[in-house]
Amino acid sequence: MTPGALYGVAGAITLLMIAVALPRAAQLPLVGFALLAATAIVNLAPANPYNTAVFSLWQQGHYLNFNGLTRLRLRRLAVRGDALSGPARRRSRPAKA
């Protein structure tokens, strides 16, 4: 972990210990404020430099996403004849003589 993350974890544990000692009527608004603050911090945080570096190297179709995975699976099912919709087909057996 980075030093900033360690300071954040230490501060969060300290605030949690203080919040546990508060009465429930004071805990509920504190939880609401914490949720509001966390949402604001995430939206105001600067861009991750590692994320922008990855996107500069990323090419369309380079990584398999969920859409590509489902299309691949459906294509395999269609080739094998296993349809996702419709009743299951029974293979007809020749009549015994």
* SS3 annotation, the chain: CCHHHHHHHHHHHHHHHHHHHCCHHHHHHHHHHHHHHHHHHHHHCCCCHHHHHHHHHCCCCCCCCHHHHHHHHHHHHHHHCCCCCCCCCCCCCCCCC
Identify the pLDDT of residue 89: 55
By percentage, how much of the chain surpasses pLDDT 70? Answer: 61
Is the whole-model pTM more than 0.85? no
Identify the pLDDT of residue 58: 66
Q: How is the chain split into domains, by residue range?
A: 3-45, 48-84
Identify the pLDDT of residue 74: 72
